[in-house]
Every structure is written in C-alpha cells, then in structure tokens.
Structure 1
Amino acid sequence: MTRPLLSVRGLRKTYGSHVVLDGLDLDVAPHECVALIGASGSGKSTLLRCVDLLETLDDGVIELDGDDVSDPRVDADAVRARIGIVFQAYNLFPHLRVVDNVALAPRRVHGVSKQQAEHEAIEVLRRVGLADKARAWPDELSGGQQQRVAVARALVTKPLLLLLDEVTSALDPELVGEVLALLRDLSEEGTTMVLATHEMAFARDVAHRVAFLDGGRVLEQGPPAQVLGEPQEDRTRTFLARVLGGF
C-alpha cells in the first residue's frame, strides 16, 4: 500500500471552550485530490490552516511525506516551503506586477536569482493561462484571473501538496468556471490537492475522494459518487439535502 503523502491523526484544535477539530483523522495519497465538504464551522478551513502550520495544534500528529511536521521543534517555514496554500482572498501585492507576485516566493524563500525566478514565474503563468498578463498590475485583472495568479504563486515553488480554501467563494458566478477548470487540469496532471469547497458538482467531477466534516471530525468519506449520491450517515444526508435538494 502506498504511504500517504499527508497523514493527519487525532488532530484537535480549540479556541477557548469551542472545539473546532475533535480528534480528526485524514490520509491523502500521492496525486490524490480530496474535497472537504461540510457546513460552515465544521472545521474545513481550520484543518487546512493546521496542515500549513498557520495554527498551533492542541493535540494530534501531522505527517508530510513521512515527516512529523507537527513536532514543536520543526521549522514551520521549512514545512510551508513544501506546501502551497490558496485562500478565498487572492492576497496579491497590489504594488507588484503579476510576474513579480509569482516570483517573490522563489526569490525570498528559496534564494533563486531574479532572472531564474522570473523565468519560472512566466512558465507557471503560462500553465494557468495567464502568460500574457505577466506585466499587468493585479487591479487590471478580473477576480478569476487574480485567483488563478494566486494558484500560480502557490505552484511556482513546486509544492508536494496544494491546499485550497474555498477559492471560488469570493468570485462572481461567471468567473467561477475558469478557476474550477484550472483545478480540474491540475488534478488530471497529478497534483496532490486538498480543497475545502462548496461546489458539489466540482467535487463530484474532479475529486478522487470526498470527505464530509461534521463536528470537527471526518464523519464520512469515500468516492464522490458514494458520498454525494448514496451517503451512509444521516448528518451527511441532511447536509446534502440542504445544499443539493433531495434525499
């Protein structure tokens, strides 16, 4: 059996008396795309932030490619250099052109020369269909284009794992499709991804596995057709009835 690229065991995260993650377990295989679904507050975003070590863990173990990255002695910046993360907000630097936004991490984090970083940035912009916008300013782009630049910025360092947190939720409906098409391409290329999403059709069509979070745990997981079409848990059926109708 292939060793998981990401292994989360017994993950617990609280804010005061509020338990957000309650002993959550999740494995992600190399080249797998896992979609996290669940109601607001179920722990999807917090899980992604914990994996990227943007939150301190109260308990549990996170392993990335066999390394325990949840050990308090671990260099968090070194771990984040192996992970790409994209949030709802694009968070592009408005004073930097698109190519410089994408080239920033290779230069600052990985010590790549300016010329090489720019070359790599343009290549990844070409990959996301925006090479022609390399010299544009962020405010000259549509929301969908800005989100694709944010994905390019996460990809340019060739991360082992790509985390995506509701990356279409801030977009106008007509712009959602272009971002989802990019993610579909990345999945088909074998990029290992964990994405929190409310786009059920996308989860059904693109993800290899869907994990339903409820009460800070993975309550149900499996192939999209099973979880979204024939859920076994009452809570899953209730959630899907609300967002999809039926059941």
Structure 2
Amino acid sequence: MSAAPLLEVTGLRKCYGERVVLDDVSLAVQPHDVVCLIGSSGSGKSTLLRCLNLLEDIDDGVIRLDGEEISDPRIDPRSVRQRIGMVFQAYNLFPHLSVLDNCTLAPQRVHGVPRRAAEERALALLDRFGLADQARKHPDRLSGGQQQRVALVRALCTGPELLLLDEITAALDPELVGEVLEIVRAEAVAGTTMVVATHEMGFAREVATTVCFLHQGRILEQGPPEQIFTDPREERTRQFLRRVL
C-alpha cells in the first residue's frame, strides 16, 4: 500500500489576465521524492513553485500538503510557509546581517526557536556544507556560489517538510554550479522531499525520482528519469532534450 502524497496538486490553473500560465497541472509528490521540473523558459516551472508556496493566487484547482488543503483562501499563507522552504535564483540574503544571523532569523522569529538552539543548528549545517568559516561574514564578502549555499542552509534551518528550489544555479558562473548542486544531492540522499525547477539535465537524471516536462503551462510528460531521458513518449519532449543535451 503506497503512502499518501506529501504534496498533491490537482487541476491547478493560473492566469495573468488573458494569458494562461498553468493549465490543469496535476502532480503527486511522495515523502522523500525529488521531483525535477524541466522545460523551456516560460513553460511555467517557476510559477508552479510560487503557487505551491502560496506566493501566487491560483485561479482553479487544489493544493494539499500532507492532506491539508492549503489552497483554501481561508488558510493563512504564513502558517503554510513555515512548513515549506524555498530558495530562489537570486540569493535574497539580508545584506545587513551576517551569514549566521541570516540562517537563524526565521527559526527564532517565525518558529520560536531559542537563539542558542537556532545558532547550534545553523552552525552544524554551515559546517556540514563547508561554510563554517563564513558564519560571521556578511553576504557581500562571499562568492555567488557561497551565497547560494548559504541560502540553501537558511532554508534547511527551519526543518521544512518540503523544499522548493527555483533554478538555483541559473545565476551562477559555471564553475560554481557544482558546489551548489552538491548540497542538493546531499539533501536528496538524506531524504529531504524536494520539487526542483532546473536546467541542469545531468543533475535531474542523477538525483530525481520523477522528472516532469512542462510545455506551455502543462505537464506534458512525467516519469522516472531513465524513461524521460532515454525513451520520452512525446515528440515535444524529444525536441527539447535534443536541444539541451
């Protein structure tokens, strides 16, 4: 008997005026899954992640997190975001705070974690990902790769049920991409449930449990990485992969 999905999306629709950005998107994410969203720019990947984190209002459909309908308008989005970590393409670190303070702000202010406990967890995660010596520095003293790794650590410091990653390597120089993806690989091995929008096809093939190909706001095809990358059913998927691989 399969476990209930941690995240379940049914018939999701999102429009900006007359433009349909997401059209009848349905998706189920089991605990410990890593779902990679691939597709051309403008296919709806980032908008889908923003809808999942309630940063965008949806026009139709249902989003459930651990069985609770979080797309219900009566739900306080702040309470939902306490359970979901999200990392954006731009690092969005607070420039006036140290790395350590960036990582402990949400646990203390939002989750009520005592300062000492928040700092102990943050320092352990920073050390785990090779950033312990950066803890007292401000973000502008770090490289782009280091800043994005700090953004990942900051999201993990709250112990999220679900981690959403939105093209987190897109703004990085190529030589910095690997060090950021290494953290994501480690979290995948550790069992963190993730939905990842990415242009890194090798990473998706290696780490994902499910790959979803989005085209014109719809999930045109989804399946295990081996099937999507070696024997896609849809011609549009084949065209996309021929172009990017």
Aligned AA (1:175): L
TM-score by length of 1: 0.97
How many angstroms apart in 1 are the aligned matches of 2:130 and 2:52?
29
TM-score by length of 2: 0.98
Deviations, residues 38-62 of structure 1 (Å, cap 9, x unaligned): 1111110000000000000100000
Secondary structure of 1:231's aligned partner: coil
Which runs of structure 2 are paired with 1:52-67 in the superposition (5 Å)?
52-67=53-68
How many angstroms apart in 2 are the aligned matches of 1:127 and 1:106?
18
How many angstroms apart in 2 are the aligned matches of 1:83 and 1:110?
12
Aligned length: 244
Secondary structure of 1:151's aligned partner: helix
Paired position in structure 2 for 1:21: 22
Say if 2:77 is the partner of 1:76: yes
Paired position in structure 2 for 1:49: 50
Paired position in structure 2 for 1:5: 6
Structure 1's consecutive aligned runs of 4 or more residues displaced over 4 angstroms after TM superposition are none
Paired position in structure 2 for 1:37: 38
* 1:169 Cα deviation from its structure 2 partner: 0.3
* 1:7 Cα deviation from its structure 2 partner: 0.3
* 1:114 Cα deviation from its structure 2 partner: 2.1
How many angstroms apart in 1 are the aligned matches of 2:210 and 2:127?
29
Aligned AA (2:175): E
How many angstroms apart in 2 are the aligned matches of 1:156 and 1:120?
7
* 1:129 Cα deviation from its structure 2 partner: 2.2
Paired position in structure 1 for 2:143: 142
| Alignment RMSD (CA, Å) | 0.8
* 1:152 Cα deviation from its structure 2 partner: 0.5
Paired position in structure 1 for 2:156: 155
How many angstroms apart in 1 are the aligned matches of 2:73 and 2:129?
36
Secondary structure of 1:119's aligned partner: helix
Deviations, residues 13-40 of structure 1 (Å, cap 9, x unaligned): 0001100000100111100101000111
Aligned AA (1:95): H
Aligned AA (1:31): H
Say if 2:185 is the partner of 1:196: no
Q: Percent identity?
A: 66
* Structure 1 stretches lacking a partner, 5+ long: none
Secondary structure of 2:64's aligned partner: strand
Aligned AA (2:147): Q
Paired position in structure 2 for 1:105: 106
Secondary structure of 2:181's aligned partner: helix
Which runs of structure 2 are paired with 1:94-133 in the superposition (5 Å)?
94-133=95-134
Deviations, residues 113-132 of structure 1 (Å, cap 9, x unaligned): 22222222112212322122
Task: Say which is worse superposed, 123-132 or 211-220, in terms of deviation.
Answer: 123-132
* Structure 2 stretches lacking a partner, 5+ long: none
